[in-house]
């Protein structure tokens, strides 16, 4: 099973009653463990939480702290990139050269590194004078 297969499978668990836009994400840590997440909406916050954030939360809950690879999938005409907030979350746990693969349900993919996806990202180095 590939990381995109894991993202595709968890996408089916998304709770998206308002947008009907289901997203799945799966990430792999350096030791090969896979964590997955899907988006979740609610009436007070219909845009919901992102699948990538869910996968990262699952990773952190298990005690892991590094992303080696991440994949995101949605039923869209083109591969959907992570939102700005999730880009920063991914950058918090992934090195600049980690690959983010975005995919449509029909198999169109686009891969970018974290550095390409979030140039000029905020890191702990920015707080060196604190």
CATH of the domain at 53: 3.40.140.10
Binding residues for substrate: 39-45
Does the residue 130 lie in any domain? no
Active centre residues (catalytic): 52
pLDDT score at 75: 95
Does the residue 124 lie in any domain? no
Binding residues for Zn(2+): 50, 83, 86
Does the residue 53 lie in any domain? yes
**What tens digit of pLDDT does each residue of 73-95 get?**
999 999 999 998 999 999 999 99
Does the residue 50 lie in any domain? yes
Predicted confidence band of residue 97 (pLDDT cuts 50, 70, 90): very high
φ/ψ of residue 111, rounded to 5: -120, 140
pLDDT score at 122: 78
Q: Are 96 and 115 in contact (CB under 8 A)?
A: yes
Does the residue 126 lie in any domain? no
Report the predicted TM-score, pTM, of the whole model to 2 decimal places.
0.92
Range of the domain at 78: 3-119
Structural domains in the chain (count): 1
């Amino acid at each position: 099973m590939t990381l995109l297969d894991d993202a595709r499978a968890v996408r089916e668990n998304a709770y998206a009653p308002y947008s009907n836009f289901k997203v799945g994400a799966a990430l792999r840590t350096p030791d090969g463990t896979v964590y997955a997440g899907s988006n979740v909406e609610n009436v007070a916050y219909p845009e919901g939480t992102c699948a990538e954030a869910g996968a990262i939360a699952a990773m952190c809950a298990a005690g892991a702290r590094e992303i080696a690879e991440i994949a995101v999938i949605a039923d869209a005409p083109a591969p959907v990139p992570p939102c700005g907030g999730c880009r920063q979350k991914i950058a918090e746990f992934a090195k600049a050269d980690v690959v983010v693969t975005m995919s449509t349900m029909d198999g169109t993919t686009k891969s970018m590194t974290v550095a390409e996806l979030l140039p000029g990202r905020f890191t702990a180095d920015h707080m060196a004078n604190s």
